Each structure stands twice: as structure tokens, then as C-alpha cells.
Structure 1
Amino acid sequence: MAAPAVGALCALLFGRGHIRWGRPGWWLLAGLLPTVVALAAFLIASSVGWITEDAGVLTTALIAAPLAIASACTSALGEEIGWRGFLWPALRERWGFLLTALVVMVVWWLYHLPAILLGWYGSIDGLLAFTVAVAGISLFLGVLTDRSRSLWPSVVAHGAWNALVATSFAVTEDTGTVPAFAGSSALLGEFGWLAAVSMIALGVVAAAWHLARGGGARRPVVASPGSDTTTDAAAPA
């Protein structure tokens, strides 16, 4: 997961561009929204009998969530430095929101594809659902990155997703991992359709809201005088 960060740093050393770090702010809380929406989808599916919920395990997972998310954010940072810290602002200088989101989504998807095909990550059977989920969350994280002018909300979103949604809100008991939700693998996890459908819905709604408020045009980035930081020259309010 550090490879995108290494790539971004190499681009800075041997080429041009910048990493937009930004500052943590209230948008960090919005980074939790994909996980909350996926949890709602899991709970609804459980209520109609599509999957089985273990309320005790889920409660334990939610209590431990802050520590689990913080741990997962450390590895997610490696990806997000590359995707939302470097690639997103570099493309937004030239292109509109939707084209940038499409390109980042494809790059992000291709980055995971070899590990999926080799059986190291996820499952080939769930590749279509994973693709839909990546499309939705790419739109949502694009909105977060544009609005916050920071990579940190996407780090929180990515970390929370890996810590909770990808594992079906699992906890560790003794030496084993116990998920809070059990049932069809076609429905659960980040390669399941519950996450996929909920994420494409979230992404489309967030993108529509962003575009309706003038967030679709390209976003030139200029260096702040006397510093190494960068700001958006024409960011929507």
C-alpha cells in the first residue's frame, strides 16, 4: 500500500507536481460516511434475512472502531498520498470533476487487479461488485478532496473502510477473526453487492450535490507565496 506514495515522491523528485496535504478539519467526520452507509446496508439486509447479524460482535467492533480505524489509516495513508494527495490535484488542474474521477477510479482499480487475479486479495467472483464499489467511492472521495482541499478525509474514509467494511465489522477473539455479519459472500465485504450498491448510491448523490454547487470545473492549483503549500485558485465555497 506504500507503492502509490513512493510513486508520488519519485514524480516529485524526477519530474514536476506537488502533494496537496491540506489540514485536518471537520471534513474528517465526512470520511466516516461510506462506512456508516455500508453498515446501514448490512443492517437492512440482516433485518430482511439476507444475512445474519451477531449483535454482540457488532457492538464489540463498534467500540473498538476508533483504534481499528487509526491503525488502518496508517497503511491507507500510503495509497492516499498517491491517489488523492498527488494524482487527484494534478488531474484537476487540467480536467473537470467527472473525468478526473473516472481516471482515478480506473488507476485505483488497475492497481488492485493483479493481486485479485493472482488470488492474493479479494475474489475474482466479486470483481464486478468491487468495480461498482470503487466507482462509487471514487466519486465520493473526489468530492471530499475537492471540498476539504486535503487528503486527510480520504485517509479516514479508506482506513475506516479497510478496518470495518472489508472485514464485515469483524473482531479478533483468541487467534481467530469473527465477523459481525455472516452469509453470502456475494453480499458481504468490499467484494459484495451490499457495499457496491450503497457506495454507488452515495457517490452519485455526493457528486450531484458537488456539481450543482459549481464543483465540476477544473481546479487550478497555485503555490502559496513563501511556502511549500498549495491552494486551489478557484475552489467552490
Structure 2
Amino acid sequence: MSWFVPFAYALIAYAIVWGSGLGGFPNHEFMQHLVPVMALRASPLTSTVVYLLLTATYGIIPRLASDLGEEMGWRGFLVPELFKTMGYTKTSLLSAAAWAVWHFPVMLWSNYNSGSREPLWFGMICFTVAVIADSFILTWLRMKSGSLWTAVILHSSHNLYIQSICTPLTRDTGKTLWFIDEFGIVVPIVTVCFAIYFWRRRHELDSAPPRHSGEQGSLRELALSR
């Protein structure tokens, strides 16, 4: 589920963009760029297919390595500790706020969002909404499974599908950057719909496995404040 959820909301979001004409598909310039990159002496289409296969499989490995360090702090420590006293909803909101603010400096003073032409404030709002929505999904998976790896895999899959596959394959038709990626409006809206689905299943966490094998009691006792 951790890899499928971001695949699903990314596919839905970009299908809306492509189908509505907000963005074009495919991006022939990107496909042409892949020819020398893949070094296959093949057509742009063949090079793109190989790129997609490799990126969607082996491409997640380096992302797992980098995202693990971040997730150890958020879903490895912060979320389980907050969940003890705050329950699912408040934990998701508070950890999302910390997660979003943690990104703000690189958005304000680096090239984290350098590819977008929409106003910075717009990109930051869209990004924050996406982070809050993803936090509800990540918290649910983390506490339901009892494993940090569910969060790491979802985090890496999200970055992979959106940043390395869907966005590069989208052709800019003029205002496309207002609608794609984490800094456009469509991905956050679709992700919110997925977050609502998991929020409605919050009561399932009552029977989720404990964080550690030595823990006593159920998560129902830890989440009385939900």
C-alpha cells in the first residue's frame, strides 16, 4: 500500500491535468533529452520506456536511503510519541505543521522550487496542503503497521512518481506549472481526498500492532484523545 497510494494519487492528479489540457502529454522535449542520457542508441519512445521501467523500480533505492534519515525523525520518533497522548487527528496535524515549516527555509532561500514560475506564496500554500494531506496518510500507515518502513516507502514513492516521472513527462502549455507538482494545485487537492479516506478509517488504528513488541495494552488506550 505504501507504494501504491502515491502512485494512485499522482496518476489521478496528472490524468486530470493531461485530460483537461492544463498540461500536455507527453513532453517530447524531455523524451528527446533521454536519448543521450540512456545511451541506448534508440528512439525517444524506447529510451523513455526504459527510463520509466528503471526509475519506477531501481530508482527508488537511492531515494529510500535519503528519505530514511528524514523519516526517522518524523514518523520514527515524533509521530509515535505524539500519538500516545494526542491521537490520530491531532498527531497528523501537528507533525504536518512541523514537517512543512522544516521545508520553508529551503523554499524561501534556495532553489527547492526553482522550476516553478508561479508566485512563491502560491507554491508554499500548495506544498503545505500536500504535506498536511500526506501526513494523515503517513501517520495512518505508520501506526497501523507499526513499521517505520511504510512511511519511508510512501515518502520515496511520492517523490519518485511526481518529481521524476509525472512532472517531467508533462508539457508546459502556458500555465501548467500552476497545476502540477507539489507546488501546483491539483496534486494537493487529490491528495486531500486520499487523506479524508484514511481519516475516515482512523478507528482501525485501535487494533493496530504496537510500536514495539514489549509494549503493553492497545493503541486504543494510547489514543483516547482522538
TM-score interval, smaller chain: 0.7 to 0.9
Q: What is residue 62 of structure 1 aligned with on the other side? A: 52
Q: Is the 8 A contact 2:206 2:219 kept in 1?
A: no
Q: TM-score, normalised by structure 1?
A: 0.72
Q: What is residue 190 of structure 2 aligned with on the other side? A: 198
Q: TM-score, normalised by structure 2?
A: 0.75
Cα offset, 1:58, TM superposition: 6.5
| CA separation of 1:141 and 1:221: change in aligned 2, threshold 3 A | closer
Query: Is 1:144 aligned with 2:141?
Result: yes
Deviations 1:148-182 (A, max 9, x none): 11110110111111222134536xxxxxxxx1112
Q: Distance between the aligned counterparts of 1:187 and 1:233, measured in 2? A: 45
| CA separation of 1:148 and 1:223: change in aligned 2, threshold 3 A | closer
Identity %: 27
Matches within 5 A, 1:83-162: 83-122=74-113, 124=120, 125-162=122-159
Cα offset, 1:216, TM superposition: 7.1
Q: Is the 8 A contact 2:23 2:171 kept in 1?
A: yes
**One-letter amino acid of the counterpart of residue 99, structure 1:** K
Q: Which secondary structure does the structure 2 equivalent of 1:185 belong to?
A: helix
Q: Distance between the aligned counterparts of 1:61 and 1:127, measured in 2? A: 30
Cα offset, 1:49, TM superposition: 1.4
| CA separation of 1:190 and 1:168: change in aligned 2, threshold 3 A | farther
**One-letter amino acid of the counterpart of residue 88, structure 2:** F
Q: Which has the higher helix share?
A: 2
| CA separation of 1:68 and 1:221: change in aligned 2, threshold 3 A | closer
Deviations 1:33-88 (A, max 9, x none): 12321122202321221111118476445312111112211101011000001101
Matches within 5 A, 1:206-221: 206-211=198-203, 213=204, 215=205
Q: Distance between the aligned counterparts of 2:105 and 2:180, measured in 1? A: 22
Q: Distance between the aligned counterparts of 2:142 and 2:3, measured in 1? A: 10
Q: Is the 8 A contact 1:149 1:232 kept in 2?
A: no
Q: Which runs of 5+ in 1 are unaligned?
A: 1-28, 171-178, 225-230
Q: Distance between the aligned counterparts of 2:157 and 2:8, measured in 1? A: 9
Deviations 1:206-232 (A, max 9, x none): 111223x3x379x986662xxxxxx47
The total of aligned residue pairs comes to: 192
Q: Which secondary structure does the structure 1 equivalent of 2:153 belong to?
A: helix
Q: What is residue 182 of structure 1 aligned with on the other side? A: 171
Q: Which runs of 5+ in 2 are unaligned?
A: 28-44, 221-226
Relative to structure 2, which stretch is displaced further, 39-48 or 144-153?
Answer: 39-48
Q: Distance between the aligned counterparts of 1:169 and 1:61, measured in 2? A: 12
Relative to structure 2, which stretch is displaced further, 113-122 or 140-149?
Answer: 113-122
What value does the CA root-mean-square deviation take over the aligned residues? 2.6
Cα offset, 1:30, TM superposition: 3.0
